[in-house]
Amino acid sequence: MSIKNKKVAILATDGFEESELSSPKKALEEAGATAVIVSPKSGSIKSWKGTDWSKEYQVDMTLSEANADDFDALVLPGGVINPDQLRKDDKAISFVKSFFNGKTQRPVASICHGPLTLINADVVRGRRMTSYDSIRKDLENAGAKWMDEEVVCDQGLVTSRNPNDLDAFNSKLIEEIDEGRHKIV
């Protein structure tokens, strides 16, 4: 499976769960893709690890500089604080929405609390998904069909529950990028 020449945006801000960004980034790069950290902030963003702040990660491109059309896929890491910021950022919401636009969707993978941002982008209705269990009710109230599985894939939308699911999450993400755009049926 080769995803060489594919360009993947990882959208995050302060408070993202460290492994939920670093692990998919590493897996994508090992598979030959380019992973680009996109953020509302310039400079660096601070990761979260379990119960406290962890190290800073360099932002490759701000949302103002990024054009969603340049990317083949999108990754939304979790962390409690990160999506709480992203979901109220208009630029972040329109960036996310554009991956779902039209009759086809580009692969979007989100883990843990990451899917909160998808609620604000109005893209979860009728979709099979999973997430961290605390936000299950918010996804169901937004119309998602929530399932308790390590990875759920619904026509290019890949979701997982928590960092323990990262291996399955990364594999499914790479598989979906290899398949390319998904026609919504």
Site for a second copy, rule CB under 8 A: 14, 51-53, 80-81, 84-85, 87-88, 113, 119-120, 133-134, 137-138, 141-142
Structure tokens at 117: 């941002």
Q: Is the dihedral of CA 8, 14, 16, 19 positive or negative?
A: positive
- Nearer to a second copy among residue 81 and residue 168 (C-beta): 81
> Max CA-CA distance within the chain?
42
Contact predicate 108/156, CB 8 Å = yes
Structure tokens at 141: 């109230």
Structure tokens at 56: 């800073």
- Nearer to a second copy among residue 28 and residue 121 (C-beta): 121
- Nearer to a second copy among residue 2 and residue 134 (C-beta): 134
Q: Is the dihedral of CA 146, 153, 68, 83 positive or negative?
A: positive
Give the active site residue among 21, 108, 111, 112: 112
Annotation says 182 is catalytic: no
Closest distance of CB 138 from a second copy, Å = 4
Closest distance of CB 37 from a second copy, Å = 20
Closest distance of CB 67 from a second copy, Å = 26
Closest distance of CB 25 from a second copy, Å = 24
Annotation says 113 is catalytic: yes
- Nearer to a second copy among residue 61 and residue 147 (C-beta): 147
Give the active site residue among 6, 87, 106, 113: 113
Torsion of CA 11, 156, 172, 37, to 10 degrees: -10
Find the helix packing angle between 166-179 and 18-30, rounded to 10°: 40
Catalogue the active-site residues.
112-113
